[in-house]
Amino acid sequence: MSSPGLKGVTRKMGRLEVTVSVEDHQSHLQLVGYLDGSADLRELVGVVRGRVSIDLEGVTFVNSLGIRSWTRLLRQLKSDGATVILQRCSEAMVMQLNMIRDARAPVESFFCPYACGRCGLRAPLCIEVEPNRPGLARGAAPEAACPTCQSLMTFDEMPERYLVFLLDPPS
């Protein structure tokens, strides 16, 4: 798995699937499934390099052993000189990012729970950080239209609790 131009190679690590794409000095990881003790992310060290973007939308469960493997991976990538960017962080990952500073890296986008008072839809919506940075810095989730009825949805969590990972970024 360490060839110079990997395109979409998928590895099964217990209950986690990791798809790796590497080209030149850019790597992309997509994680899907359970980030638990069966996921040995050390296998990725030395494979990914340069700017490493990690898509976390598919992570549905994280436990303490999984977060330990995750933090070890982040530490190793950073010590190897990689720039790590997190994309489309699932609600399960956001909860971990909020609790454990060592689990963090810069976040480009993440999922937030929203609810529609009109039609009753509850759905996670993907929020881009940069265009919403001023509001997020104040602890305010952006407004969102309901994909079903187009009414204004409300953020279905306490912003001061859910957005900690943005308000208290990694050093």
| CATH number where 67 lies | 3.30.750.24
Residues 55, 31 contacting (CB under 8 angstroms) = yes
Domain that holds residue 166: 113-171
* Residues 74 and 152 occupy one common structural domain: no
* Residues 102 and 120 occupy one common structural domain: no
Please give the mean pLDDT across all residues of the chain. Answer: 92
Query: What integer pLDDT is reported at residue 5 of this predicted model?
Result: 57
pTM of the model: 0.91
> Residue 129 is encoded by which pair of tokens?
């950080």
pLDDT above 80 (res 120): yes
> Residue 90 is encoded by which pair of tokens?
């699932």
Query: What integer pLDDT is reported at residue 170 of this predicted model?
Result: 64
Tell which of 88, 107, 126 closes a domain.
Answer: 107
* Residues 80 and 46 occupy one common structural domain: yes
